[in-house]
Amino acid sequence: MNETLRIAREVACEAAAAAGKLAKEHFDRDKEVMAKGNQGDLVTAIDHLAEKEILNRLQERFPDHRIRSEESGWSGAESDWLWLVDPLDGTNNYAIGLPAYGVSLTLIYRGKPLLGVIYDSQLENLYVAEQGKGALCNGLPIRVKTSAAAGRMTLGWIQGHDVGKGGQATSLKHHLDAGSKRVLSLWAPTLLWSMLARGDLDGIVLYNSEGEDLYSGLLLAKEAGAAVVDFDGRPFEGMNSEPYIVACPPDRLESLLSMVRAGLGE
């Protein structure tokens, strides 16, 4: 397993950087934007080009691994090893010329994320997290912010495409807006996880958003020292098709959980 992870880390870093640089090269060009689904989501030609760049590398080096990718779905035979691939996290931003987008790759073994690679395509920052080995940005260790100084928090908000507007999610977000300094909703979740891991956010609240971009960010946050729990305060482990998550430095956990529970009317 150690040798598999060593090679996987090398291949994933190369693939993510190649896909991210491809997207950046086309950022100011015609992106051939198309509708995707009925929730206002988009896809561009670059999503497919970046995905092909990644899948070609993974399939060549790991022909026995299963892959689930954002655009093409499932490929490969059943396996203990699963790659999750989002070749262009933040497509809606990319399509309107907002430079906040990236690449996400996660390697999972028997339902447990072991390796996460995130590439901030515009800034060309490479984030890597391997279970039990810490979190890195461009080869340097990063940690969550651990100061519990008084003051309102700056938070990230992530919700699933199918959650929609209104209802409990909107009420919770409004409550967080009122009780914090700022709530960022970037439509590029991996960039929010990267911000938390390097100490630029005080926490993230995620409302039912599971997908190819989730587990690389979760692993990065954990390896950078974040507490990651569900809305009931239980440690979030493995995978979940309908996750509700609070992630923050451990010394912020009690206050952020209290805000979330109040926003849920508990």
**Residue 5: enclosing H or E segment and its boundaries?**
helix 2-25
How many other CB atoms are there within 10 angstroms of residue 163's CB atom?
Answer: 16
Determine if residue 64 is labeled as part of a ligand binding site. Answer: no
Determine if residue 14 is labeled as part of a ligand binding site. Answer: no
Burial degree of 238 (CB within 10 A; 0-12, 13-18, 19+): exposed
Determine if residue 232 is labeled as part of a ligand binding site. Answer: no
Determine if residue 89 is labeled as part of a ligand binding site. Answer: yes
* Closest C-alpha among 9, 160, 191 to residue 88: 191
The answer to whether 108 and 1 are in contact (CB under 8 A) is no
Determine if residue 230 is labeled as part of a ligand binding site. Answer: no
How many other CB atoms are there within 10 angstroms of residue 23's CB atom?
Answer: 26
How many other CB atoms are there within 10 angstroms of residue 141's CB atom?
Answer: 10
Q: Which segments are annotated as binding site? A: 70, 86, 88-89, 213
Q: Which segments are annotated as binding site for Mg(2+)? A: 70, 86, 88-89, 213
